[in-house]
Amino acid sequence: MILTTVSQRRDLLARSRTVAMVGASPNPTRPSYFVFSYLRTRRRLDVTPINPAVNAIDGVRAYPTLAAYAAERGAPDIVDVFRKPADAPQVTREAIAAGAKAIWFQYGVINEEAIRLADEAGLDVVVDRCIKVESARFDRGLSIGGFDSGLISARRSAPR
97 pLDDT more than 90:
yes
Please report which confidence band the pLDDT of residue 146 belongs to, taking 50, 70 and 90 as the band edges.
Answer: very low
User: Does a structural domain hold residue 149?
Assistant: no
Please report which confidence band the pLDDT of residue 59 belongs to, taking 50, 70 and 90 as the band edges.
Answer: very high
148 pLDDT more than 80:
no
Please report which confidence band the pLDDT of residue 41 belongs to, taking 50, 70 and 90 as the band edges.
Answer: confident
User: Does a structural domain hold residue 80?
Assistant: yes
User: Does a structural domain hold residue 146?
Assistant: no
| The pLDDT of residue 150 | 45
User: Does a structural domain hold residue 99?
Assistant: yes
Q: What is the pLDDT of residues 6-24, one digit of tens each?
A: 899 999 999 999 999 999 9
pLDDT averaged over every residue in the chain:
89
| The pLDDT of residue 149 | 42
User: Does a structural domain hold residue 79?
Assistant: yes
User: Does a structural domain hold residue 103?
Assistant: yes
90 pLDDT more than 90:
yes
| The pLDDT of residue 139 | 74
147 pLDDT more than 60:
no
Please report which confidence band the pLDDT of residue 138 belongs to, taking 50, 70 and 90 as the band edges.
Answer: confident
Total number of domains constituting the chain: 1
User: Does a structural domain hold residue 1?
Assistant: no
Domain that holds residue 113: 6-140
User: Does a structural domain hold residue 145?
Assistant: no
pTM of the model: 0.85
- CA distances from residue 46 to 16, 17, 37, 61, 153 in whole angstroms, order as listed: 9, 6, 11, 12, 37
CATH number at residue 111: 3.40.50.720
